[in-house]
Structure 1
Amino acid sequence: MDGGDRDLNEKTAVIVGVGTGMGRSIALSLASKGWNLALLSRDAKRTGEICHEAEAKGIKCFPIVADAMDEGSLNEAMKEAKKKLGRVGALVYNAGGFFTLDGIESLSLDLLDKAYLLHLRGLILSVKALLDDLKSSKGSVVVVAASPATIVAGNAAYASTKGAQLWLVKRLAKELLSYGVRVNSVSPGPTTHDPSSPSDLEVKLGTYDPRPSWDVGEAVAFLLSESSPRFTGANLIMDGGLSIPAD
């Protein structure tokens, strides 16, 4: 699959979900490689700060307040992103949350619905909003999913909706192949961006990992680049071996 040479004006990406260190890592990695960016997040202050850092690398960056769980908010934000950037060449969907160890008996439908809205519906709406641009630019989509290490007891809402992202990635990759649009995912384990330092949750999961999140940004940049023309429907697991069964 030939990714072709992308004009500088088409080296434009929308990143959904930049309120954490992982979103910052992705934004700065892309900025360092010449991508102009629109950053979508509910946190206006944090998004503005990350945009300021990105612009120091010589690119244009536009902070846009948006809620990935709200259809109207997300659609309006996508319209603004396209207006600011021109034709969009890439989408990175990094929105995530609602991790809990509550068992199935205490799992609320409200939490399940919210996990679906954030991890799946928001992703689908984002792709639909940018689809014409992605087709015309032969662009790429990268979804930030989650390491298999997150599939633990009491994590049904998060694990099921994050797992569904991986199947959606494969389905979209197949569907959009004929348009030259590539769709891939990365599945990171815990990184130092996590709001909880070695917390009770991480102790219970045995997942604390002090490694920084910069490599996630570099992996996303690789998947969006012309260096990965045959990557589509792929998932890069980046958890430092946490998901490998013990001997």
Structure 2
Amino acid sequence: MNGDGSKGKNRNDGGDGAKVLLVTGTTSGMGRVIALDAASAGYQVVATGRDPERMARLAEDASARGGALDIRHLDITDHVGVGALVREVAEEYGRIDAVVSQAGGIFALGTAEQIPMDGFRYVFERNFFGNLAVIKAVLPHLRASRGRLIVTTSANGLVGAPFNDAYASSKFALEGAVESLAPAVARHGVRTTIVEPGPVATDVMAPRRFDRLVPTEHVDGDPYPEPWELLSRIIAATGAVQPVEEIGPQILDLLTQDDPPLRFQTAPWATDFVAPKMSADLDGRKVGAANEAYLALAD
């Protein structure tokens, strides 16, 4: 439904030629900022999330800023529901021009020894498989519109860090899938960017959220420090937390670039963190060129 609670049919680009942008995970944090900024910039934003109360407040905030959002309920772990929602949006608007898939920032702090197997599965279902379901559903529509795909992973999707074993591996998986996909869909006009933030000031960083979602198992001898306390000290020492308000303008810029990078780190800290491993190709253009050459072998 729209920000005013109504639900339209066959609206065709929002009725005013605005580009149709689907954003997942908009109940809080980066997704919320992206949806609000995009609506203010003139996009017809379809904003999805799981929490009805938070989504209602999001619509009110958009209206107060002079924008409007089409609010839809979506749980990205419901893969059938993902496909149904995407088809519904495409039918109502006639097209989907861009997608920002960024839901599922689920942490599980601890080593592989501490995190139960069900904890790994929980993280992967939300961080990897949920985003993959969104990507699979939207690609036919993005091919048709020669549109944009932006997928948020993490600096930990390129470089692992202690006590991020489950989180980093889920983000590595998503990076691998999107990096492999990008050159194939580029041949159909779809431009893809992987966004790699470092720590961002959102409620994902709340310590109680980690404990509630993925409890760790006891390891005899307690060989490891308490992971949240360790991470808190590291973040405090680096001053690396990025204001969430910076994310929206960065995403809007990526959506309008003629030749967007394959990879984009949102803050200097994130770039510095991945540089020892990726300094030869921070924006992914060399990887993209290598994959284009690989595909050209079959031409």
Counterpart pick for 2:235 among 185, 206, 209: 206
Q: Confirm or deny that 1:222 pairs with 2:222.
A: no
Kindly report the root-mean-square deviation, in angstroms, between the aligned alpha carbons of the 2 structures: 2.7
Segment of structure 1 superposing worse, 70-79 or 88-97: 70-79
Report the Cα offset of residue 204 of structure 1: 4.1
Indicate the structure whose relative CO is greater, using CA pairs within 8 Å and at least 6 residues apart: 1
Specify every segment of 5 or more residues in structure 2 that has no aligned partner in the other structure, as ranges.
1-14, 208-227, 276-299
| TM-score in terms of structure 2 length | 0.71
What's 2:201 paired with?
Answer: 192
Report the Cα offset of residue 196 of structure 1: 4.0
Specify every segment of 5 or more residues in structure 1 that has no aligned partner in the other structure, as ranges.
1-6
Q: Residues 146-165 of structure 1: CA distance to partner in whole angstroms, max 9, x if unpaired?
A: 12497321211110111222
Q: What CA distance in whole angstroms lies between the structure 2 residues aligned with 1:102 and 1:202?
A: 10
| TM-score in terms of structure 1 length | 0.84
What's 1:118 paired with?
Answer: 126
Segment of structure 1 superposing worse, 27-36 or 188-197: 188-197
DSSP 3-state at the match of 1:186: strand
Q: Are the equivalent residues in 1 in contact too, given 2:47–2:71 (CA < 8 A)?
A: yes
Report the Cα offset of residue 102 of structure 1: 1.6
Q: Give 1 or 2 for the bigger CA radius of gyration.
A: 2
Q: Are the equivalent residues in 2 in contact too, given 1:34–1:58 (CA < 8 A)?
A: no
Q: Residues 165-220 of structure 1: CA distance to partner in whole angstroms, max 9, x if unpaired?
A: 22222222101111110110211122222344697364244265454212211111
Segment of structure 1 superposing worse, 21-30 or 82-91: 82-91
Q: What CA distance in whole angstroms lies between the structure 2 residues aligned with 1:197 and 1:126?
A: 26
Report the Cα offset of residue 97 of structure 1: 3.0
Q: Which amino acid aligns with 1:67?
A: D
Counterpart pick for 2:141 among 112, 133, 144: 133
Q: Residues 9-37 of structure 1: CA distance to partner in whole angstroms, max 9, x if unpaired?
A: 35011111112221111112211221111
Q: Which amino acid aligns with 2:246?
A: D
- Tell me the number of residue pairs that the alignment of Structure 1 and Structure 2 aligns: 238
Q: Are the equivalent residues in 2 in contact too, given 1:166–1:235 (CA < 8 A)?
A: no
Q: What CA distance in whole angstroms lies between the structure 2 residues aligned with 1:54 and 1:103?
A: 40
Give me the identity figure in percent: 27
Q: What CA distance in whole angstroms lies between the structure 2 residues aligned with 1:97 and 1:144?
A: 9
DSSP 3-state at the match of 1:179: coil
Counterpart pick for 1:238 among 266, 279, 284: 266
What's 1:4 paired with?
Answer: none
Counterpart pick for 1:80 among 81, 85, 88: 88
What's 1:163 paired with?
Answer: 172
Q: Which amino acid aligns with 1:152?
A: A
DSSP 3-state at the match of 2:17: helix
Report the Cα offset of residue 95 of structure 1: 1.0
DSSP 3-state at the match of 1:63: strand
Q: Residues 109-132 of structure 1: CA distance to partner in whole angstroms, max 9, x if unpaired?
A: 212112222222222221222222
- The structure 1 segments of at least 4 consecutive aligned residues displaced by more than 6 Å after TM superposition are none
Q: Structure 1 or 2: larger helix share? A: 2
